Chains A and B, each alone.
Chain A
Amino acid sequence: DAGVTQSPTHLIKTRGQQVTLRCSPKSGHDTVSWYQQALGQGPQFIFQYYEEEERQRGNFPDRFSGHQFPNYSSELNVNALLLGDSALYLCASSFPVPGLAGGIDTQYFGPGTRLTVL
């Protein structure tokens, strides 16, 4: 059973460029969340996709956008890259569990994509 996979593993871009990161969820999961993890920090929630729509968004500018495909895989796009966008980008997949305390099922994380902006 494949876990969450992400591509590419590493990426180097320059300021102002655009980048697309990809994620395939764990088999059977239909919800994908993206997180940004700066060096030495905990992951910060960017947004979540469910049924091909953005379900919720964290405190990130609209330079960050995403997409979910019918097979539940997802992309994260970042436009007009800034130096501060350098981070590890994590994808997590889960089942949505309405009514469960916290309303969230266990999130399984991929290995991440390390983005460096020069």
Chain B
Amino acid sequence: GESVGLHLPTLSVQEGDNSIINCAYSNSASDYFIWYKQESGKGPQFIIDIRSNMDKRQGQRVTVLLNKTVKHLSLQIAATQPGDSAVYFCAEPNQAGTALIFGKGTTLSVSS
């Protein structure tokens, strides 16, 4: 069925380290995935997306990897900064392609 989930609810890193946030999905027909960042008291903010015809996509300090064989995607944040502290969600469109299905989120805590 349609579901998107994350492996770990929390991740704690030191400033300057690289962070890896994981997400597993169950629908093998899914062809589009998005990562959102949600800071405390704010709405989700688009970070980066990837389509199923790609294995990797890079943005500014972020990289998303998609492994369709095991239905897994990850968000890598390079040189993590305190401002990266937030809840990170992976999401995919529903079958109708009109709305997003979110996982539960991973809380990233960055200590300096």
Contact = CB atoms under 8 A, between A and B. Distances in A.
Nearest to A57: B99
Nearest to B100: A107
User: Size range of the interface on A?
Assistant: 20 to 34
B97 interface: yes
Given A55-B98, A108-B46, A109-B43, A101 B32 contact: yes
Contacts, number: 71
Interface stretch (B11-19, B66-74, B76-84, B101-109): B101-109
B62 to A, nearest CB: 15
Contact of B89 (A42, A48, A103, A104): A42
Contacts of B94: 45
Contacts of A106: 34, 46, 49
A98 B10 CA distance: 36
B43 A104 contact: no
Contacts of B96: 56, 103
B43 A45 contact: no
Contact of B97 (A41, A44, A103): A103
A45 B99 contact: yes
A16 B102 CA distance: 29
B51 interface: yes
B43 A48 contact: no
Interface of A: 4, 33, 35, 40-45, 48, 55-56, 58, 90, 92, 101-104, 106-112
